[in-house]
Amino acid sequence: MTLAVLDTSALLAMLLGEVGGGRVVSVLADSAMSTVNLAEVVGYYARKGASERDIGLVLDALPIERVPFDDDLATKTGLLLPSTKMAGLSLGDRACIALAGRIGIKVMTADRAWQPLGAQLGIDVELIR
């Protein structure tokens, strides 16, 4: 059973041993992530100079359900733009929120800008720190 959708910031907090990462560890085996957010994590490591092989070694071992960014998620993500514009959410942020809304479970993030949007968007936002 999936307990949480992970935002890029939540997964990176866990991987980098940052504050709040332990909260992610507690749901990791029962978590999901959009492939858009997975791409953001890959991009983080690529910017730091990691090779594709090394990035794969880190990410492939994680028991996260990877949810493809399909037409339905693309539409739901795009429709979030007007209601999240003032908070400055990125495409990845909105993809994460759209997935949480589709599955009907909480989203875990380190991004405080999401908190006030939870009730408005009908999702449970759990800040990890």
Q: How is domain 4-127 classified at the CATH fold level?
A: Rossmann fold (3.40.50)
- Predicted TM-score of the model (pTM): 0.95
Phi, psi torsion values for 4, nearest 5 degrees: -155, 150
Condensed to tens digits (0 to 9), the pLDDT of residues 5-20 reads: 999 999 999 999 999 9
Tell me the domain boundaries of the chain: 4-127
Condensed to tens digits (0 to 9), the pLDDT of residues 60-106 reads: 999 999 999 999 999 999 999 999 988 999 999 999 999 999 999 99
